[in-house]
């Protein structure tokens, strides 16, 4: 078993993956739990000499699955949306550069799947084909989901301009 792969992951990929999952779930704690759980599973496999080939990618996929929460998916997602919406409305997040606010509002309107795709594409910088592989969907679906996500952010931006004009 290659313990070095785990050390490298903790050094380089851990914080970033927690941030990515946090964007999907709206909760850093939940994201951390999901990533920890995924790592624990990977460690278990590694001890049985069945270590995943690409630790980073494997942990990302498993952490996303864990965060999705199986049976409680619907509740979990509703919860995630309200948390993300709260991020958008929090005064600390609102600043002169409101990209974070706009994006948080858009995230809160997205479905779980759309958020996953958006985060993997624009935060993790994964190519469309890789995202399709990790989420086990076709590249076409990934493109469709990304298209809808762009439309949602477009709407959010348009709403804000309307509000600004009305003031």
Partner 1 sequence: MHGDIDDDELIEQRWREGLHALGEPGDTTGVAVRVTARVRDRRRRHVLTATIAVFIAAAAGIAGAVVASRSGSGRARVQAGAPPSASSTTASPLDAEAQPALAAWSRFPVDASPRPLILLQDTELLGTRGFPDNLSKDAYDGGSFVPPAQFPASPPAAGGYPVVSAQDALVMLKAEASPGPPPATSLTITDVRLDTTTFPTDRGARTVPAWLFSFRGVPDAAAVAAVAPPARFVAPGLAELALRRRSTPNLLGVGSLGGTSVSADGRDLTVTFVGGPPGTGPCSKQYGGHATESRTAVAIAIEPTGTPRPEPSVACSMVGYRRQVVIHLDTPLGERVLIDAIGGDPLDVAP
**Contact criterion met (CB below 8 Å) for 81 and 108:** yes
**Residue 103 lies near partner 1 (rule: CB under 8 A):** yes
Helices (H), strands (E): how many in the chain? 9, 0
Comparison of 76 and 146: residue with beta carbon closer to partner 1:
146
**Span near partner 1 by CB under 8 A; candidates 45-53, 63-71, 126-134, 158-166:** 45-53
Nearest 5°: the CA angle 61, 115, 137 is 55
Phi, psi of 97 (to 5 degrees): -90, 105
**Residue 64 lies near partner 1 (rule: CB under 8 A):** no
Burial group, residue 49, by CB count within 10 angstroms (0-12, 13-18, 19+): exposed
Comparison of 71 and 97: residue with beta carbon closer to partner 1:
97
Binding site for partner 1 (CB under 8 A): 3, 7, 10-11, 14-16, 18-20, 22-23, 48-51, 87, 93, 97, 99-104, 106-107, 118-119, 121-123, 149-150, 153-154, 157
């Amino acid at each position: 078993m290659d313990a070095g792969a785990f050390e490298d992951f903790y050094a380089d990929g851990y914080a970033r993956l927690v941030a990515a999952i946090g964007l999907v779930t709206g909760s850093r704690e939940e994201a951390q739990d999901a990533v920890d759980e995924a790592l624990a599973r990977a460690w278990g496999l590694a001890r049985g000499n069945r270590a995943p080939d690409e630790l980073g990618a494997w942990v990302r996929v498993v952490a996303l699955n864990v965060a999705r929460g199986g049976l409680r998916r619907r509740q979990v997602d509703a919860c995630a949306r309200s948390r993300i919406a709260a991020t958008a409305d929090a005064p600390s997040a609102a600043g002169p550069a409101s990209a974070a606010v706009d994006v948080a509002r858009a995230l809160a309107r997205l479905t779980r799947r759309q958020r996953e795709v958006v985060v993997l594409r624009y935060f993790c910088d994964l190519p469309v084909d890789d995202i399709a592989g990790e989420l086990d969907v076709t590249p076409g679906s990934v493109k469709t989901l990304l298209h809808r996500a762009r439309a949602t952010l477009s709407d959010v931006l348009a709403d804000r301009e309307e509000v600004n004009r009305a003031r």
